[in-house]
Amino acid sequence: MKIALVSYKKQEKFAQGVTNDEDTELLNFLTGKGLDVVPVIWNDNHVDWSTFNVAVIKSPWDYHNHLTEFLTWLNTLEKLSIKVLNPVEIIQWNSHKKYLRDIAQNGLPVIAAEFLDKGSDFDSRFFELFGTDKLVVKPCVSAGAQNTLTVDKNNLKERTEEIQQLLKTEDYIVQPFVEEIKNGEWSFLFFNSQYSHCSLKTPKKDDFRVQHYHGGSISYPTPDPLHIEQAGAYLKTLPQSTLYARVDGVLINNSFTLMELELIEPYLFLNGDRNLLENYYRALMVLIS
């Protein structure tokens, strides 16, 4: 069985602040287990995809900038009868932030959100709607806080003009700014729906973006079992099993609330830990057997 470990053409902006090469560590671990795993770039036209049995979507970190091409490529893999992990249906659903509305409709805690379709208008109504003095506005197809803006009543005019320009090209999501993000964003990692480990990403002073390439810091506290259980509940609503899932959120009144359900290309915080790599391997073997 030949397995493609799918990545992207490396860009420094995505790797800044990462001290270990997670893809290489995973590749070495899986090949050390005797698996035939080949690293490939998803949009490399020289790859003969028909030679693969399985495609593990590991780190196509630029997919959001080429979404139509990316989804078309996934459909091509399906037509070749290649097993895709995570499943194509799951990736398609997860690629647009309107998936958060589906999760909320299932009765699970999600940060409140409204959606602005491309070509629509942004204005001050969202302050009253959410009962807040500060908003976060970001693209519905995005990663790494790209084009993510905060809006308050002091910068409303300036931000409105900027957002109106952005809305000419894509859909956006509007949410209240959650003060709890200053205490950090929890990431719970699950492999084949089994909890593996977690991380806590904390923004630098006077920022809200937790990503390492925006100056955020990462720690690995021991989570409350209650919060692990709460994070795992989001996976029970999925129609198919997933090789990996990163459940990102904040603690509000000591209860987990979802910010993002990462099912396409999340960094997994494996950190070369053989126990965590083993968790991933076992999940993979179950899903490809």
3-state secondary structure of 203: coil
> How far is residue 178's CA from residue 259's CA, in Å, rounded to a whole number?
10
> For residue 125, which of 114, 117, 109, 140 has the smallest C-alpha distance?
114
CA distance 217 to 18: 11
Q: For the residues of 82-141, what is the DSSP string, one character each?
A: -EEES-HHHHHHHTSTTHHHHHHHTT--B---EEE-TT----THHHHHHT-SEEEEEESS
Of 167, 186, 61, nearest in space to 118 by CA? 167
Residue 12, Cβ density class (10 Å: 0-12 exposed, 13-18 middle, ≥19 buried): exposed
Q: What is the pTM of this model?
A: 0.92
Which H or E element spans position 40? strand 36-41
pLDDT at res. 206: 61
Full pLDDT tens readout for the chain, 289 residues: 999 999 999 755 445 544 469 999 999 999 999 999 999 999 999 999 999 999 999 999 999 999 999 999 999 999 999 999 999 999 999 999 999 999 999 999 999 999 999 999 999 999 999 999 999 999 999 877 778 999 999 999 999 999 999 999 999 999 999 999 989 999 999 999 999 999 999 976 766 555 655 567 899 999 999 999 999 999 999 999 999 999 999 999 999 999 999 999 999 999 999 999 999 999 999 999 9
Name the architecture of domain 2-94.
3-Layer(aba) Sandwich (3.40)
Res 229: pLDDT: 98
pLDDT at 203: 78
Quick one: pLDDT at residue 217? 85
CATH 3.30.470.20 for domain 99-109+180-269: yes
Report the distance separating Cα 195 and Cα 236, nearest Å.
13
DSSP 78: H
Q: Taking the alpha carbons of 28, 33, 36, 37 in that order, is the dihedral positive or negative?
A: negative
One-letter amino acid of 5: L
What integer pLDDT is reported at residue 145 of this predicted model? 73
H or E stretch at 28? helix 22-32
DSSP for 178-202, written as a single string: -GGGGG-EEEEEEETTEEEEEEEEE
In degrees, rounded to 5, the angle at the alpha carbon of residue 40 between the alpha carbons of residues 36 and 46 is 115
Q: Distance between CA atoms of 146 and 29, rounded to whole angstroms?
A: 32
